[in-house]
Amino acid sequence: MNAEIIEDSGIVTKVEGNCVTVEIKPGGGCKSCTMRGFCFKESEPTKFEIITDLPLQVNDRVQLDISPVGRTLVSLLVFGVPIIFLFLGFIIASLWFIEFVSILIGFVAMGLSFRIVRLIDKKYGKRLKISVARKL
């Protein structure tokens, strides 16, 4: 297995032709990640639709390969963009307003960034490189 790939495993919940829905719970690479609470809800597994040529059936356990570059970009998007908006909002507002108002505008800008991140996720979220490596 490629050393650059982080592995997770999941259960196939639906098969439609060569498209499978895989349900994963936090584990594997997530155990050592300090951001694990942000990616998954504690009580709910996450589902991914993946195209694969492997002959899979419902309830098969599979190993997933998730690109570390993709994970890094998602982390930067989720955590970096709001911080950048917070500081830029404050800095730009401080040119015209007093400090308290500038702080409020900074937080409003950060709130706006959450909406922008959500829109980016809806548009590009499916492009995260996830593949089924093998059936376990």
Q: Considering the chain, what is the average pLDDT of its residues?
A: 76
Digit-by-digit pLDDT tens for the chain (136 residues) are 444 444 577 788 888 877 888 887 765 555 555 555 555 555 567 777 777 778 887 778 887 777 777 778 878 888 888 999 999 999 999 999 888 999 999 999 999 998 888 888 777 766 666 767 667 7
Residues across the chain: 136
Backbone angles phi, psi at 7, to 5 degrees: -105, 145
Read off the DSSP letter of residue 55: -
The beta-strand segments (E) located in 67-124 are none
pLDDT given at position 43: 59
Are the C-beta atoms of residues 8 and 54 closer than 8 Å to each other? no
Q: What is the pTM of this model?
A: 0.58
Q: How is residue 134 annotated by DSSP?
A: E
Residue 105: count other Cβ atoms within 10 Å of its Cβ: 19
What does the pLDDT look like over 76-97, one tens digit per residue?
888 888 999 999 999 999 999 8
Contact 66, 94 (CB under 8 A): no
Q: Provide the residue ranges of all domains of the chain, joining segments of one domain with +.
A: 6-135
